[in-house]
C-alpha cells in the first residue's frame, strides 16, 4: 500500500504538469498566430507516440516492473519541458511536435505504472478495485483540471518560459524521489512476455478497447482545439478565462469519476458490466446532439456551450469510470500491464483521432460539425459496449 501511495503521488505530480503544459501550448501558440490546424498538429505526435508507448510500455512493464515505466515517464517529461525553453524563433511546428512526442511517451509510461499497480493493491476484491480505480482516475482528472488553471494563470502572470521552467524543476524532483523509493519489482510478470503478447487475445479486452477509442475520440474532437479557440475567437474570452473554465470542467469531471461507485450502486453490491457501459454510452450521445441543435437554432452560444459542457462532464465521467474499472477487472493479474497497455493504446488512438479531427473539422466546418462527429463516435461506443459481457467476470 505504501508503494501505491508513492505511485499515486507521482501520477498526481505528472498529471498537474501535463494539464498545465497542454493549456500553455494551446493558448501560447494561438497568441503567436498559429491556426487551429497548426495547433492540432502540435499534439499529433503527442497522441501518436502515446499509441506506440502504451503498446510497448505494457510489455516493458511486464518484463521490468511498473516502477521502471513510471520513473522513465517522469524523467522524459523533464526533457520535453526543457526543449520548450529555447528562444521563440526556434519553436517551429516540427520542433514543438517533437517535444510533445516526448511528453506523450512520458505521460503514457507514467499512466501504465499507476493504473497497473491498482490490481495488486485491491487483490480479488472487486468492490475495492472499483473504488480504488474510480478514486485514482477521478483525482487524477481533478488535478489535470487544476493544471489547466495553472497553465492559464502562469501564461497570464509569469509567461510561457518561466512556467515551463518551474514545472521542469518540480517534476525532476519527483522523479528523483521515485527513483530512490519505489520497489523496482512491482508488476513483473512470472513469465517472459514475447512480442506476440503485445496484442490482446481477450475478446472482452478488444471490445472494451474499441469502445474506449471512440469514447475519447468523441471528447477530443471538440474539446482539445475547437473549444478553446471557439471560446477565444467567437465568445471573446481571455486566455485566463479559458484556462479557468476548462480547469473547472476537468475538476468537476474528476470529482464525478471519484464518486462513480456510489452512483452505480456499489453500496448494494453492484459492480459495472457491459450493460452499465451501454446505458451510460447511449446517455452521452444526447449531449453533443443537443448542443449542435441549440447552436443551429440560434440559441445563445455561451449558454449552449457552458450548459452542454456541464452535462457532458457528468455523463462522460461516468462512462470513463466504468471503462477504467472494467479493463482492470478483465486484465490478467500475471502481466496485468499487457492488457492495460493495449487498452490505453486504444485510448491514445482515440485521442489522436479526436485531436486531428478537432483542428481540421473546426477550421473547415465549425463547432457544430465537431459536435455532430462526436455524437457519431459515441454511437460507436454504444455498439461495442452492447457486445460486452453482462458480468465483469464473464467470458
pLDDT, one tens digit per residue, over 106-149 is 888 887 777 777 766 666 667 777 787 777 778 877 888 788 78
pLDDT, one tens digit per residue, over 317-338 is 899 889 888 887 887 766 566 7
Cβ(382)–Cβ(252) under 8 Å?
A: no
Domain layout of the chain by residue ranges: 2-187+201-386
Q: What is the per-residue DSSP string for 280-335? A: HHHHHHHHHHHHHHHHHTT--HHHHHHHHHHHHHHHHHHHHHHHHHHHHHHS-STT
pLDDT, one tens digit per residue, over 342-376 is 888 888 889 888 988 888 888 888 899 999 999 99
The per-residue pLDDT for 225 is 79
Average pLDDT over residues 223-251: 82
The per-residue pLDDT for 280 is 93
For the cut 80, the answer to whether the pLDDT of residue 220 exceeds it is: yes
For the cut 50, the answer to whether the pLDDT of residue 315 exceeds it is: yes
Q: Where do we find the cell 477530443?
A: 220
Average pLDDT over residues 40-57: 77
Domain boundaries 2-187+201-386, corresponding CATH code: 1.20.1250.20
Cell of 267: 453500496
Residue 168's pLDDT band (boundaries 50, 70, 90)? very high
Instruction: Give the CA distances from residue 114 to residues 117, 237, 293, 333, in Å, rounded to whole numbers and listed in that order.
Output: 6, 36, 40, 15
Residue 9's pLDDT band (boundaries 50, 70, 90)? confident
Residues 174, 327, 60: CA angle, nearest 5 degrees: 50
Amino acid at each position: 500500500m505504501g508503494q501505491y501511495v508513492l505511485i499515486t503521488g507521482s501520477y498526481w505530480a505528472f498529471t498537474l504538469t501535463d494539464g498545465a503544459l497542454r493549456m500553455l501550448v494551446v493558448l501560447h501558440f494561438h497568441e503567436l498566430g498559429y491556426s487551429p490546424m497548426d495547433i492540432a498538429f502540435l499534439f499529433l505526435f503527442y497522441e501518436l507516440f502515446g499509441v506506440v508507448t502504451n503498446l510497448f510500455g505494457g510489455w516493458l512493464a511486464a518484463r521490468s516492473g511498473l516502477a521502471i515505466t513510471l520513473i522513465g515517464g517522469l524523467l522524459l517529461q523533464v526533457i520535453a519541458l526543457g526543449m520548450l525553453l529555447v528562444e521563440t524563433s526556434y519553436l517551429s511546428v516540427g520542433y514543438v511536435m517533437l517535444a510533445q512526442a516526448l511528453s506523450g511517451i512520458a505521460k503514457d509510461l507514467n499512466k501504465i505504472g499507476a493504473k497497473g499497480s491498482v490490481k495488486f493493491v485491491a487483490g480479488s476484491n472487486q468492490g475495492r478495485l472499483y473504488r480504488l480505480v474510480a478514486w485514482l482516475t477521478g483525482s487524477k482528472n481533478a488535478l489535470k483540471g487544476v493544471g489547466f488553471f495553472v497553465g492559464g494563470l502562469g501564461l497570464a502572470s509569469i509567461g510561457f518560459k518561466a512556467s515551463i521552467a518551474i514545472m521542469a524543476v518540480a517534476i525532476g524532483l519527483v522523479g528523483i524521489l521515485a527513483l530512490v523509493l519505489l520497489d523496482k519489482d512491482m508488476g513483473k510478470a512470472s513469465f517472459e512476455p514475447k512480442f506476440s503478447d503485445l496484442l490482446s487475445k481477450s475478446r472482452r479486452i478488444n471490445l472494451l478497447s474499441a469502445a474506449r477509442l471512440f469514447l475519447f475520440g468523441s471528447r477530443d474532437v471538440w474539446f482539445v482545439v475547437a473549444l478553446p479557440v471557439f471560446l477565444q475567437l467567437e465568445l471573446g474570452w481571455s486566455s485566463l478565462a479559458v484556462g479557468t473554465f476548462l480547469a473547472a470542467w476537468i475538476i468537476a469531471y474528476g470529482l464525478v469519476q471519484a464518486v462513480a461507485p456510489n452512483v452505480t450502486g456499489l453500496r448494494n453490491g453492484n459492480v459495472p458490466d457491459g450493460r452499465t457501459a451501454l446505458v451510460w454510452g447511449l446517455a452521452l450521445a444526447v449531449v453533443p446532439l443537443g448542443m449542435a441543435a441549440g447552436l443551429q437554432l440560434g440559441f445563445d452560444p455561451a449558454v449552449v456551450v457552458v450548459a452542454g459542457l456541464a452535462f457532458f462532464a457528468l455523463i462522460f465521467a461516468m462512462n470513463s469510470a466504468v471503462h477504467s474499472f472494467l479493463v482492470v477487472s478483465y486484465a490478467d493479474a500475471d502481466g496485468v500491464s499487457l492488457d492495460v497497455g493495449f487498452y490505453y493504446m486504444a485510448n491514445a488512438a482515440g485521442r489522436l483521432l479526436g485531436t486531428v479531427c478537432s483542428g481540421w473539422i473546426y477550421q473547415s466546418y465549425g463547432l457544430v460539425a465537431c459536435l455532430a462527429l462526436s455524437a457519431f463516435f459515441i454511437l460507436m461506443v454504444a455498439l461495442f459496449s452492447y457486445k460486452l459481457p453482462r458480468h465483469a467476470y464473464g467470458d
